[in-house]
Amino acid sequence: MREFPRFLIGASTKMYFNHARTMEWCRAVAAIARTHPAVRAGDAAVFAVPGYLSVPGALEVFDGAAMVGVQDLAAEDSGAFTGEVSGPQAAELGCELAEIGHAERRRFFGEDDAVVRAKTTAALRAGLVPLLCIGEAKRGDPPAAAAECLRQLDDALASAGASGLSGRIVVAYEPHWAIGAPEPAAPEHIAAVCSALRDHIRGLPAHVGSAVIYGGSAGPGLLSLVGHSVDGLFLGRFAHDPAAVATILDEVTEIAGHKPSDAGTGSKAADSIGAGGTDV
């Protein structure tokens, strides 16, 4: 499994797109990932988390240009679990990530800490990187938010630790109150919480090489403000237009200190695709 670069930039399409639109989006993002200076220089990696039915197509389209993940997975590896998709099934196809614990899974499907814990363990057991979504439900001050997120992180990893499982984690800090909001959390709030999470997970010997990224109405312009305290961004609706992915990768290029003239290749690739944005 590939090593993480300085920044991870990726998106989940949730259930917004049909299959044809998903494949159009994947082709556009793949073109960006293959040509953008930030990726070519090793400063960033792209990941994509499409709907289940589009995962095989996404893997074919990206063909290694981006990491592909599933939006959920079963807590069990096999058995009589109608409608579920297991970690071994996802890994067999070539997926590298499994999104776990998103606020929508908690809100709409009743997933609690115990379910998140079991699914995190299942992902590590299958050799997948858990894309572990954590965040506080209500807006509060950064110390309280950090304390709650650290509690969620430790709880999610508890069973894996007891089972002797190890592996990298991508912690996606997504304050529930910021998901779907017009703007992300304030940069100073993001910096405080993500710095605490980074310090903590870097002290866990079973999870060396892990990353902490921010989601929750994340889009272009944010990385330039919080890049010192996060390892990337988890994008939602702001990445429906692939050009936004290229713009954020341009920010990576600037942060990495490359010449401004080096940036923009990915943006031009996105413009040539012509995929439109969605405001939802």
Question: CA-CA distance, 209 to 193, in Å (whole number)?
Answer: 19
* 240 annotated active-site: no
Identified catalytic residue from 174, 176, 240, 251: 174
Cβ atoms within 10 Å of 139's Cβ, excluding its own: 14
Does the active-site annotation cover 228? no
Catalytic residue among 24, 36, 96, 102: 102
Q: Which parts of the chain fold into alpha helices (H)?
A: 19-35, 37-40, 55-62, 87-93, 103-109, 113-125, 142-162, 187-201, 223-226, 242-256, 265-273
Residue with tokens 């996060």: 230
Question: Contact, 43 vs 5, CB < 8 A?
Answer: yes
Using left for φ > 0, alpha for ψ between -120 and 50, and beta otherwise, residue 27 falls in: alpha
CB 169, CB 132: distance < 8 Å: yes
Which residues are known catalytic residues? 102, 174
